[in-house]
Structure 1
């Protein structure tokens, strides 16, 4: 992997600007030992709620990155920025169209050294992101490997993100993805709602992303940090 600003991340919490989180919970997350906070979501993202969440996180000394999914939520002041490209969709707007639209408007303001493309492969057809982007989520192993090879070796994307969003994924597929990746940093997100699942995913992915469980079982979310730290 390249030595980039996110290369040392093993565990990340992902917070949705459209969801409520108390100051006490945010303090516990930011002081838990996680490597970073990613701010992002699939719906309800505005400039106002993104700025508000960022300003609350910035009181803590840990990396805070924005996943840019809408132009309304493109907020300056983050440590880094991820631009998702949904690879397993036939709708070009989610691969390049909206990104070009954003660059036409904000290209001169992009902090390129702190901005990275994420090659998303969405594998849960029930996920909001899959429905919005019309992702072809039912990939078999051979198809997944082809997408990984395209993203990793042809496109040379710095991040490949295996996303199950709301469901714990097929760890055999994640292992095949890890075995195939040569250059990119492999992110995994989806259904990590226990310490055991965090350990299992962290043994395969370079970086795991813990999100939904923050809002449903906060203690379980916090337990994933130590679980990952114990995983080589």
Structure 2
């Protein structure tokens, strides 16, 4: 998918109708729905029903199989590549397919290889990720996902802090076919520009709840890189 900019909304966090209207009408390429904790079927359905009032594509990141709500345009299944617990690489996914496989719209379901690099983030703690990695280790994880596993998406996640853009660029240069997504700590235009120049897609999330107007400007920052 030719996404360059995505806003990420957490079903477990409140967002006003006015703010949601600005987000969905901002020109972002897609709305990504997901979170590290507190995501349920009910709060995901509620958020989807509100987003569906707009034409923007809506993507569900299925971190909790019980919250796999029908009606999204695409579904992304995270596989945490640098986890120390195989459940987060293949175990949860296998159990979800065993239970829901017959109902999955496989033509719009895609795997994404996560590399979580902020050890203090909830995502790292929940997934038991080893975030203390050298650049060569991160590149190797990405190449395993890209070349061996043939995953369509690789997501470098710094959740809560702005990451190392030199590392992100190094990973991108080594990829053959996977689309590189970056998320984490984008709070201003300059960071959005740097991230957009380093990755194929950027995800802007937390700032939506704290500094909405600044978040909305990141859409234009990505457009400037494209031009």
Deviation at 1:182, TM superposition (A): 1.0
1:227 is matched with 221
Q: Count residues with an aligned counterpart.
A: 226
1:83 is matched with 77
Deviation at 1:219, TM superposition (A): 1.0
**1:121-179 CA-partner distances (Å, limit 9, x unpaired):** 00000110101111010110111111011010000100000000010000110010111
Alignment of 1:46-57 (within 5 A): 46-57=40-51
TM-score relative to the length of structure 2:
0.98
- C-alpha separation in 2, matches of 1:118 and 1:187: 9
**1:45-96 CA-partner distances (Å, limit 9, x unpaired):** 1110000000000110011010001122110010010000000012000000
Please, which of 145, 148, 151 is the counterpart of residue 145 of structure 2? 151
**4+ residue segments displaced more than 4 Å:** none
Q: Which has the higher helix share?
A: 2
- C-alpha separation in 2, matches of 1:19 and 1:145: 33
- Unaligned ranges ≥5, structure 2: none
Alignment of 1:4-83 (within 5 A): 7-83=1-77
- C-alpha separation in 2, matches of 1:148 and 1:53: 32
Please, which of 130, 133, 139 is the counterpart of residue 133 of structure 2? 139
Matched, 1:211 2:205: yes
TM-score relative to the length of structure 1:
0.96
1:199 is matched with 193
- C-alpha separation in 2, matches of 1:141 and 1:43: 28
- C-alpha separation in 1, matches of 2:146 and 2:2: 19
2:170 is matched with 176
Q: Secondary structure at the match of 2:7?
A: strand
- Unaligned ranges ≥5, structure 1: 1-6
Deviation at 1:204, TM superposition (A): 1.2
Q: Secondary structure at the match of 1:66?
A: strand
1:3 is matched with none
1:4 is matched with none
* Pairwise CA RMSD: 0.6
